[in-house]
Chains A and B, each alone.
Chain A
Amino acid sequence: MRLSEKKKDFLFLAVLILPALLLLLFTIGIPILKSLYLSFFDVSLLSMKTQTWNAFGNYKKLFADQELVHAIGVTFRYVVTVVFLQFALGMMLALILNGKIPFRRALRTVILIPWVIPTIIGALLWMWLFQPQYGVMNFILQRLELIGKPLQWLSDIHLALWAVTIAALWKQLPFMVTMLLAGMQGIPGEMYEAAMIDGAGKRQQFFHITLPMLKNTIKTVTLIACIENFKMFPLFWIMTSGGPVNATTTLSILSYKTAFIDLDLGKGAATGALWLVIMLLFSWVYNRLFAIGEGKGGAAH
Chain B
Amino acid sequence: MNRSKRLSAFLSILIAVLFLLFLLFPLYWMLLTSFKDNSVLFKLPPEWWPSKPVLSHYDKLFSDGVFLGYYRNSLIVCFCTTAVTLLAAMFAGYGFSRFEFKFKSFALFSILSTQMLPVVSLLIALYTMYNNYHLLNTRAGLVIALTTSCLPFSIWMIKVFFDNIPVDLEESAKIDGATRFGILFRIVLPLTKPGLFSIGIYSFILSWDDFLYSITLINKDELRPLNAGIAIRYIGELSYDWSSIMTVCVTSIVPITLLFLFFQKYMVSGLTAGAVKG
Residues of chain A having any CB pair with chain B under 8 Å: 8-9, 12-13, 15-17, 19-21, 23-24, 26-32, 34-35, 38, 89, 92-93, 96-97, 99-102, 107-121, 124-126, 128-129, 131, 134, 136, 139, 143, 170, 173-174, 178-179, 181-183, 186, 216-217, 220-221, 224, 227, 230-231, 233-234, 238, 251-252, 255-256, 259, 265, 268-269, 271-273, 275-276, 279-280, 283, 299-301
Contacts and interface: CB of A to CB of B under 8 A. Distances in A.
Contacts of B30: 125, 128
Given A31-B125, A115-B205, A280-B113, A17 B16 contact: no
A256 B120 contact: yes
Interface in B115-157: 115-126, 128-129, 144-145, 147-148, 151-153, 155
Contacts, number: 260
Nearest to A24: B148
B120 A179 contact: no
Contacts of B62: none
B155 A136 contact: no
Given A27-B148, A217-B276, A120 B211 contact: yes
A121 B230 contact: yes
A57 B253 CA distance: 46
B83 to A, nearest CB: 13
Contacts of B268: 108, 112, 178, 182
Interface string B87-99: 1110110111001
Main secondary structure of the interface of A (DSSP, over half): helix
B124 A265 contact: yes
30 contacts: A15-B91, A16-B91, A19-B91, A20-B89, A20-B91, A21-B107, A28-B114, A34-B125, A35-B125, A93-B19, A97-B16, A101-B13, A107-B20, A111-B20, A114-B26, A116-B257, A118-B209, A118-B226, A118-B253, A121-B227, A126-B26, A129-B26, A174-B23, A178-B271, A230-B116, A231-B116, A231-B119, A256-B120, A259-B124, A275-B118
B120 A20 contact: no
Main secondary structure of the interface of B (DSSP, over half): helix
A124 B208 CA distance: 16
A221 B272 CA distance: 10
Contacts of A9: 99
A120 to B, nearest CB: 5
